Amino acid sequence: MEDYQLTGILSPEIVVLDSDRYGRQIWAVSNLTKKHSGDNCVMCGEIVGKKAFRSTTNKGNRGSRICIRCIEELKGVFSQNEVKER
């Protein structure tokens, strides 16, 4: 499984993630076609649904998908860390 860190929230459907392998990337919600709706999330391994986040800035992992639940968990941790820093 890949390890991603949330470094920014540009909108509810667009986030900035960092990874050791791919660096900083913008990920956005995508409506998946039937071909990709059975793909596994690169973070938790669960099958993604009809919507998932996908990389928009790197061809190396453009086929990777992250489920909505994993992004929401990262957003929760990110928000808690922002509050602690204030």
47-62 pLDDT, tens digit per residue, is 998 899 999 987 778 8
**What percent of the chain stands above pLDDT 90?**
58
pLDDT at 82: 64
The count of structural domains within the chain is: 1
Mean pLDDT, the chain, as a whole number?
A: 87
Q: Which residues contact 23 (CB under 8 A, 6 or more apart)?
A: 58
**Residue range 48-77: average pLDDT?**
90
Domain range for 22: 4-85
> In the structure, what pLDDT confidence band is assigned to residue 84 with cuts at 50, 70 and 90?
low
Q: Tell me phi and psi for residue 46, to 5 degrees.
A: -75, 155
CA 74 to chain CA centroid, nearest Å: 9
pLDDT digits (tens, 9 = 90+) for 23-35: 999 999 999 887 7
Q: Give, for 69, the enclosing helix (H) or strand (E).
A: helix 68-85
Q: Give the torsion sign (CA, 32, 50, 9, 14).
A: positive
